[in-house]
Structure 1
Amino acid sequence: MILPRYDRRCGWYEQLDSVSDFPEITTDTHVDVLVIGAGFVGCAAARRMAENRPDAQVLLIDAIKVGQGASGRNSGFVIDQPHKRDLESHDETLKQKIVRLNRVAVEYLETQIERYGINCHWSHAGKYQAAVGPRGEQHLAHYESLLNKGGETYHCLSKAEMRDVFGTDFYSAAIHTPGGALMQPAALMRGLADNMPKNVQVAERTAVQAITRTSQGFEVRTGKARIQCRQLILGTNIFTAELGFMRDRILPIMTFASMTAPLNDEQMQRYGGRLDWGITPADHGGTTLRMTQDRRLIVRNSYRYAHDYNTPQELIPTIAARHREAFDQRYPQLNDVAFEYTWGGASGLSANFETYFGELEQNIFASCCDQSVGAARGTISGMMLADMAAGLKTDLLRDMQQVSGNPSRLPPRPLLRIGVPLRLAYERFKSRSEV
């Protein structure tokens, strides 16, 4: 069994001032609900279950430290607008439900941030989508038409506005959508875990080795203990396959990011743009770019088939060189600004771009195949899994079921090891002008 591991490279996590410690489960334990995986899905599911059933004992466990996994490694976007493929659906009602669910997730997270004073650089900065040249502009025009069709608010930036916000003339066109938020993901995950309801116990470094069904529910074996529970909620992302579920449905794809050191005052003058914004590329294969509230620029591009689920350290220099090239193209005036961190983070895709949400088996609930939009999607999925497990029937749960699908079966893994890298290389070649 492959388990999550931490490589001490993720810039979001490494810059945290201090991190609390949740002890490993070392003695046999009985709980009502066990939530495996303390990312966006798991944290939302544990909290919501505690809210739904305040008398229930809920245990939230993670194989590593909270914030070190995929949820703490993303680019810090909490989107309200669905991904472009969801926007392309011909069912306007379905798209409206996706947006509604995402906005509920944003509000749910913001409520906790305000209530507990979580310092995670949360802001309603919205999101930019930008193009570099003709290929990207074509994608951006299509995106604009979809926004118009859905009656969504947006703003097309002029060249002067792009220069004022981004500090670069590199982009040829950009659209700003005002919904959604930006944040520091590792800080958010730590804050959520640190402020769980009283009937939620959190445990770190508690990796699951086996799950067995019993007459009373389940026995979950970890490295040092056995956990008895009545219900299981899986927030295990791509590692769901390692637990024996969705083995031939989840395609683990890793993307990489590099983060600079904070810009000093003189470098900020040369930069000339604003703080606290984020760009996603109009072309799927392009580059994501962020400027944080604390003056760090982040570049994200490059993909690999994560058949081993974790980040091969020998790839880091090559990836960092690609990020350097993309950075220098955008900010030649900042060639003395060094990257401080380079890391990878994996998400779960499916061959037909469908997400999974529901009851895998009796009393085993899961959300898989987030399609790289895990912050909002993961949060609302965790909330609704808890509602489903608690036997609640709500409009949000019904909408969640309607916008979810059935991920198609993947080819055998030996074929994926050959085919996926070739496809990723082809997509990178097609999108080379936008990287």
Structure 2
Amino acid sequence: MIHLPNDDATCGWYHAITKTPEKPRLTGEQTADYVVLGGGFAGLAMARRLALHAPNARIILIDAQRIGQGASGRNSGFVIDLPHKFSLEHPDPAHKQKLLKLNRSAIDQLSSLVSKYKIDCQWSAAGKYQGAVGERGEAYLDHFEHLMKDLGEPYQHINGDDLSKVLGTNYYSRAIYTPGGYLVQPAALACGLGDNLPDNVEVLENSPINNLSKEHGKWLLHSKHGVVKTPKLLLGTSIFTREFGFLKNRLLPVMTFASWTRPLNDDEMKAYTGLLDWGLTPADHAGTTIRMTADRRILIRNTYKHVDKYGASSTVNENVRKQIQDDHRKVFLARYPQLIDVPFTHSWGGTYAISRNFTNFFGELDDGVYASACDNGVGIAWGTVSGTLLADLVMGEQSESLDDIQHVTGMPSLNPPEPFLGIGVKSRISLAKWLSRSEI
């Protein structure tokens, strides 16, 4: 093991929630019927579904940090029903419809859990705006409209004053609104799900696994203070799946960054003039994502970095974060010059896995080892549905949804060796940023 999860302590979402007491760490020698590694949305769904199938089994969910501290608590809080932009261009209409159905089943599942357990996470059927600033963004928006027509999904054009009344800024020239997506406070949702798992799921936090071995048909997960043995291991470890020898040279670690303000006061809300609780993603994928949260915070997200040294040896230091925050500040003030006195309180990064062929892995990696890996940047819905169905696969439960997810997933393509991979990815990110500079 080279890289262990060790995210920065500056995530605004996580700072904003009320913390529950820490769960125990992995200590001593333990055995379990099933072990789920990774407490993000995929791992949480795996553990829940396993417990429902096998209520008498001992199921252990292990996270290297606390639930909500990792990538699942660091995204922008969009629970997207539509296939991702690249998936929307897939030539097979049935493929896109399967993705749409899978994402919507995840939204239904999460809606039910939020309601059942009264999880306070700003869960909202707010839909999503996709916005354009200028000609380049408008061209992408026209292409998106064409894809939406092919998919047969409803959408609405929002222009001029109607758009500025929502966003509180006239910076954007046009947007397309799609009604099926949800917004959420992601760290609050992850923690709420973790606090309401079935009774036969034991959660172990702050227990990074630094070695995986096999002995007499059982998998042994070794931490600094203990070991757990299991015949069935489910990995919800995203990019860290590589650290256990699986999907090596097939996953790309990318970090994206966000900053947000403190909650606006009443006078600042009057100056802002827009609505609460909306989210906008850029028509040009290298542009800026922006959200106004239900508790009056404005969030800015852009900037992508290839981080070949992620986890504990992350190359993203405080100087890099300061530069990113300065860039976010320029973006913020370009949209909201009337809020010049509103400071940012937090800036943070999160690492996720993408693949060169934009393919998600789902299935068995080795005898008794299963994984859902590589969410390609759409983690909440995909993590939830893929984790649920992976548990079904392990338990031998057949369904149309399981058939669908096996149809739309596959093997991420091989990457070129380093240093060529890093040079190529960094060059491509830099080029995309330059080309999209008018939309950032």
TM-score of the superposed pair, with normalisation by structure 2: 0.97
2 CA distance for matches of 1:124 and 1:20? 30
Q: CA deviation at 1:216?
A: 3.7
Structure 2 residue aligned with 1:323: 328
Equivalent AA in structure 1 for residue 74 of structure 2:
R
Matched, 1:425 2:427: no
The residue matched to 1:417 in structure 2 has which SS?
Answer: helix
Equivalent AA in structure 1 for residue 337 of structure 2:
P
How many residues align? The count is: 435
1 CA distance for matches of 2:205 and 2:80? 28
Structure 1 residue aligned with 2:99: 98
2 CA distance for matches of 1:172 and 1:347? 31
1 CA distance for matches of 2:382 and 2:347? 25
- Asked whether the 8 Å contact 2:7–2:350 carries over to 1, the reply is no
Structure 2 residue aligned with 1:260: 261
Matches within 5 A, 1:75-114: 75-114=76-115
The residue matched to 1:303 in structure 2 has which SS?
Answer: strand
- Asked whether the 8 Å contact 1:260–1:297 carries over to 2, the reply is yes
Gap runs ≥5 in structure 2: none
2 CA distance for matches of 1:106 and 1:363? 29
Structure 2 residue aligned with 1:377: 382
Matched, 1:58 2:59: yes
Matches within 5 A, 1:314-353: 314-353=319-358
2 CA distance for matches of 1:49 and 1:93? 29
Matches within 5 A, 1:140-219: 140-219=141-220
Q: CA deviation at 1:203?
A: 0.6
Structure 2 residue aligned with 1:275: 276
The residue matched to 2:140 in structure 1 has which SS?
Answer: helix
The residue matched to 1:413 in structure 2 has which SS?
Answer: coil
Q: CA deviation at 1:163?
A: 0.8
2 CA distance for matches of 1:159 and 1:313? 39
Q: CA deviation at 1:54?
A: 1.4
2 CA distance for matches of 1:231 and 1:159? 55
1 CA distance for matches of 2:373 and 2:418? 18
Structure 1 residue aligned with 2:128: 127
- Asked whether the 8 Å contact 1:26–1:225 carries over to 2, the reply is yes
Structure 2 residue aligned with 1:251: 252
2 CA distance for matches of 1:17 and 1:267? 26
Residue in structure 2 matching 1:389, options 370, 389, 394: 394
Q: CA deviation at 1:421?
A: 1.4
2 CA distance for matches of 1:134 and 1:56? 57
2 CA distance for matches of 1:312 and 1:361? 36
Equivalent AA in structure 1 for residue 432 of structure 2:
E
The residue matched to 1:202 in structure 2 has which SS?
Answer: strand
2 CA distance for matches of 1:222 and 1:413? 29
- Asked whether the 8 Å contact 2:128–2:279 carries over to 1, the reply is yes
2 CA distance for matches of 1:252 and 1:295? 32
The residue matched to 2:65 in structure 1 has which SS?
Answer: coil
1:192-224 CA distances to partner (integer Å, 9 max, x unpaired)? Answer: 100000110001011111111222421111111
Equivalent AA in structure 2 for residue 410 of structure 1:
N
Matched, 1:413 2:418: yes
2 CA distance for matches of 1:138 and 1:390? 47
1:222-247 CA distances to partner (integer Å, 9 max, x unpaired)? Answer: 11111011101000111111121111
- Asked whether the 8 Å contact 1:20–1:194 carries over to 2, the reply is no
Question: What value does the CA root-mean-square deviation take over the aligned residues?
Answer: 0.9
1 CA distance for matches of 2:137 and 2:367? 46
Deviates most, 308-317 or 28-37: 308-317
Matched, 1:13 2:18: no
Q: CA deviation at 1:60?
A: 0.3
Q: CA deviation at 1:294?
A: 0.4
Q: CA deviation at 1:306?
A: 1.4
Matched, 1:233 2:238: no
Gap runs ≥5 in structure 1: none
The residue matched to 1:433 in structure 2 has which SS?
Answer: coil
Q: CA deviation at 1:413?
A: 2.4
- Asked whether the 8 Å contact 2:8–2:349 carries over to 1, the reply is no
Q: CA deviation at 1:326?
A: 0.7
Spell out structure 1 runs of 4+ moving beyond 4 A.
Answer: none
TM-score of the superposed pair, with normalisation by structure 1: 0.99
Q: 1:314 to 1:243 in 2, by over 3 A?
A: farther
Q: CA deviation at 1:358?
A: 0.9
Structure 2 residue aligned with 1:398: 403
Q: CA deviation at 1:419?
A: 2.1
Q: CA deviation at 1:287?
A: 0.1
1:51-71 CA distances to partner (integer Å, 9 max, x unpaired)? Answer: 111121110000001101000
1 CA distance for matches of 2:418 and 2:60? 33
Q: CA deviation at 1:21?
A: 1.3
Percentage identity across paired residues of the two chains: 48
2 CA distance for matches of 1:433 and 1:158? 19
1:121-146 CA distances to partner (integer Å, 9 max, x unpaired)? Answer: 00000111010011001101110111
The residue matched to 1:80 in structure 2 has which SS?
Answer: coil
2 CA distance for matches of 1:199 and 1:312? 40
Q: CA deviation at 1:19?
A: 2.7
1:64-98 CA distances to partner (integer Å, 9 max, x unpaired)? Answer: 01101000000000000011111111111110100
